Each structure stands twice: as C-alpha cells, then as structure tokens.
Amino acid sequence: MTLLAPLLESFFTDRLYKQLGSSPNTVAGYRDAFRLLLRFAHTHLGKAPSDLLLADIDAVFVGAFLSHLEVDRHNKPQSRNVRLSAIHSFFDYVAFLEPAHSGLIQRVLAIPQKRCDRNLVDFLTPEEEEALLKAPDQSTWLGQRDYTLLFAGVETGLRVSELIRLCSEQMVLGTGPHVRCRGKGRKERCVPLRRDAADVLKKWVEEQGGHPSEALFQKRGGGLLTRDAVERIVTKHVAKASEACPSLKEKRVSPHVLRHTYAMSLRRSGESIQTIALSMGHESVETAYIYMRSDLSATEKALARLAPIGRTFRRYKPGDRLMGFLNGL
C-alpha cells in the first residue's frame, strides 16, 4: 500500500522547490489543482486526503475529475488542461519513485490534453484606451495609483504578476527609458518605454518615495495588490469609461486585455512578430501569431492591393526611349 500524501508532499518540496526551482506562480497553480483533486476524492471516495492511496488516483478517477471540472464547475477546456498538466507533472515524478505502479502511472500520463477553440484576442481600440485612462479620479491617491497602474499595463504589456511586483529599481527613467522584469519561466526581458510613459512612472515614483525594492502599486495601508484586486480595479474603471465609450460595454476587459492592447499597438505600428514576442516575454515566436490573426488592418491592406473582379491586368511595356526623352524636357 503506497500512500499518496508523502509522495505529494515530496513532489512539492523536493521536485518543485529543490530540483526545479519553480516560481511561486507555478507552485500556486499546482497547489490549487491538487486541492481540487483531493476535495473531489473526499466527496466521491469517502476518504480523507491523508488516507488516499496512489492506487486510488488511477486513470478512471482522473478522467472523472476532469469531467467534474467541465460539467460541475463549468471550467473551460483550457482550465481543464492546466489541471491535467499539474497531474501529469506529479505522475512523471512518481514514475521514478514507484516503478511498481508503472502501469497505473502510464495510463494516467496517457490521458490527452483536450483540444479547444483558439479565439481571437480581445484588445482595446485607441478610443477605448483613452476613455479607460480618463476614468480614474486623479485628484485622489487611489485615483493616481489606478491611473498609473492602468497606464503601465497598456504601455509595457507586463503580466499581472509582473505589474503588482514592479518596483522603481527595475526601471530606468532617464536616457533610454525601459523596464527590466523577470517574468514567466524566470526569463528576464527589457521593455522600452516611450518618453510620456517614463514621465508618468517617474512622477508616481517620486510621489511615493519608499525603498527602490518596494512595489510601486500597493494597497492603501501598504502591501502588495492581489490579482483579484487588480481585476476589480480594471472592472471598476471600465464601467465608468463605458459611459463615454459605449463599445466598452460589449467587451469583457480583464488585466490581460491591457497586455493584449500593448501587443496590438506594436503590431499596428508595423513591428515584426519577433519583436512583439521578445517584448511580451513569449517562450516561442509562434505564440505571438495570435496578434497577426487578430489584426484586420494587415488583411485589409492586402485586399486593397487586389484587382476588382472582372478587371484584367496588362503586361507592362516600356515606352519609346526617344519619346520618353522628349516628354521629360
């Protein structure tokens, strides 16, 4: 009888922390996946988490858990796949520790990721972006914080986790202004800033003072903002901005939409996909192709170069050289 508990504890302490040095976000994501799994096991198997055996978590059980996520919790296939990735990672680790259970382990690892729709990304138009940035009341401290936070989101394309930990020591706001951050996959990247963006951030840094390593965007009483707090800030100001810009009422604007807005601004300005991928901190250039699919302007320009139906092209024939000379006099 092989208990699940010591294997799962070892997975987090030894595998994720010591061997892989996983980021806090990765650990939190895996933790949440297994909390859901253990609660499901307690309900359907009648066992406390500490009493579960590895044999209880077989392919049939995992399949039932994944169905529960989609049917009962109404998770999208993308969320279901994230939970399955955490389970796969655990069983990859257990395969080396418990070879006697190799059959069970291989059957769980054989559960495939579910195909899902690849929708176009949502982003703000220049008019919507302007309305959103006008929404915060900058006569108050909270309004100034929210304005700078939203402005930084659309001007840097930082992820929410990167924004809430952004501090002044990561920024160069003089000559060659830019932000340096270590994002997903522990990859450090440098994001150039426009002069006006650097001025906004510099003003906020000077007003806040504080230690260079302290987060720029904090709660009123101090301390890091949470992801949920940033979500509420965006939702609050989108609701106000929609009064002046009705098109915002038709969009679900999340903090990640601010990141997409930055990428689409680069795309519309003619930047290459490679440059966009580097600025966004993508692992692969292929990830940035979502912005090409969402950019109608490139397709419209290509269509404009096409000849109307029924129109024929004639092969170019150079004119007479002498007549050209005389016409040019």
- Domains defined for the chain, CATH in brackets: 4-109 (1.10.150), 126-303 (1.10.443.10)
Predicted confidence (pLDDT) per residue in 192-234, tens digit: 888 988 999 999 998 888 788 888 999 988 888 998 999 999 9
For 47, 131, 226, 325, the CA distances from 30, given in Å and listed in that order, are 21, 38, 18, 77
- Please determine, for residue 85, whether its predicted confidence score (pLDDT) is greater than 60: yes
For this structure, is 178 an active site residue? no
Q: Which of 15, 68, 80, 159 is catalytic?
A: 159
- Please determine, for residue 236, whether its predicted confidence score (pLDDT) is greater than 90: yes
Quick one: pLDDT at residue 5?
Answer: 95
Look over the chain and give the mean of its residue pLDDT values, rounded to a whole number.
Answer: 88
Quick one: pLDDT at residue 312?
Answer: 61
Q: Which of 184, 189, 240, 268 is catalytic?
A: 184
22: tokens are 């996983």
HSE, CB side, 13 Å, CA atoms: give it for residue 213: 0
Task: For residue 305, name the pLDDT band (cuts at 50, 70, 90).
Answer: low
For this structure, is 259 an active site residue? yes
H runs (alpha helix) in the chain: 4-10, 24-45, 59-71, 77-97, 102-109, 126-134, 141-156, 160-163, 195-208, 227-241, 255-268, 273-280, 289-294, 296-304, 321-327
For this structure, is 44 an active site residue? no
Q: Which of 47, 182, 202, 256 is catalytic?
A: 256
Q: Which of 259, 260, 262, 267 is catalytic?
A: 259
Q: Which of 123, 101, 13 is nearest to 56 (CA)?
A: 101
For this structure, is 256 an active site residue? yes
254: tokens are 């999340």
Predicted confidence (pLDDT) per residue in 88-108, tens digit: 999 999 999 999 999 999 999
For this structure, is 115 an active site residue? no
pTM of the model: 0.70
Mean pLDDT of 235-264: 92
- Please determine, for residue 51, whether its predicted confidence score (pLDDT) is greater than 70: yes
Mean pLDDT of 164-172: 89
Q: Which of 156, 119, 152 is nearest to 136 (CA)?
A: 152
